């Protein structure tokens, strides 16, 4: 009886194990699945970053437009959208802000503090007025066209600095020629979102 039980245990242990070939097959399948899934996960991360950047640009653009409606011109720097203490005393009576929430991350020194992205590492938002050489029609492939065909006016832009290449590509795919890139082939690129063109 005892021999019979031991024999059954040995038999079930042998049947429960995996062969080396079976283990290698399972590992190979897992590697193939990871190779298929990882690019998709990476792509969705770039799309999330692109959406976050476009939402921030939308908020800043809205603040710039409301600031101009109250004060008659765009601010010299983004800090003036949320910090009345750096607004010139000659126009403080017209300042009805804040025109955007105080950013949780900033970069630079007062009164020219820019917005640093809290979700996308290294990305900074900056207000830029471009005149003459280089400015735009709002339809551009790269930043050399910002201000082009506008020699007597200016393009008022939100410049987004150091956007990762794949995130910039996701933004470009969505926005087309409504944005301008400094270098579409670099690891990072600057993007210009045109807020308004004046002539």
User: At 130, which helix (H) or strand (E)?
Assistant: strand 124-131
Nearest to 114 by CA among 86, 77, 83: 77
pLDDT tens-digit readout, 5-33: 545 555 555 556 778 888 888 888 888 88
pTM summary value: 0.71
pLDDT tens-digit readout, 40-83: 555 578 888 999 999 999 999 999 999 999 999 999 899 999 99
pLDDT at 46: 84
Q: What tokens does 83 get?
A: 């910090």
pLDDT at 31: 83
Could you tell me which residues are beta bridge partners of residue 191?
160, 181
pLDDT tens-digit readout, 104-148: 999 999 888 999 998 888 999 999 887 755 444 444 544 555 545
Sheet holding 154-164, edge to edge: 106-107, 114-116, 124-131, 154-164, 188-198, 179-181
């Amino acid at each position: 009886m005892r021999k019979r039980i031991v024999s059954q245990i040995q038999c079930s242990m042998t049947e429960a194990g995996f062969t080396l070939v079976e283990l290698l097959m399972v590992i190979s399948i897992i590697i193939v699945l990871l190779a298929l899934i990882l690019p998709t996960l990476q792509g969705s991360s770039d799309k999330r970053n692109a959406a976050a950047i476009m939402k921030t640009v939308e908020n800043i653009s809205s603040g710039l437009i409301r600031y101009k409606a109250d004060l008659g011109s765009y601010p010299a720097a983004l800090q003036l959208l949320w910090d009345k203490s750096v607004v010139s005393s000659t126009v403080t009576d017209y300042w009805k802000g804040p025109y955007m929430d105080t950013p949780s991350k900033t970069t630079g020194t007062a009164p020219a503090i820019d917005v640093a992205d809290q979700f996308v590492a290294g990305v900074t938002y900056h207000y830029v007025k471009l005149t003459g050489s280089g400015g735009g029609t709002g339809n551009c492939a790269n930043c050399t066209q910002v201000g082009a065909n506008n020699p007597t006016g200016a393009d008022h832009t939100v410049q987004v600095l150091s956007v990762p290449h794949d995130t910039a590509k996701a933004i470009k795919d969505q926005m087309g020629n409504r944005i301008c890139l400094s270098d579409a082939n670099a690891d990072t690129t600057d993007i210009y979102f045109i807020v308004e063109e004046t002539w």
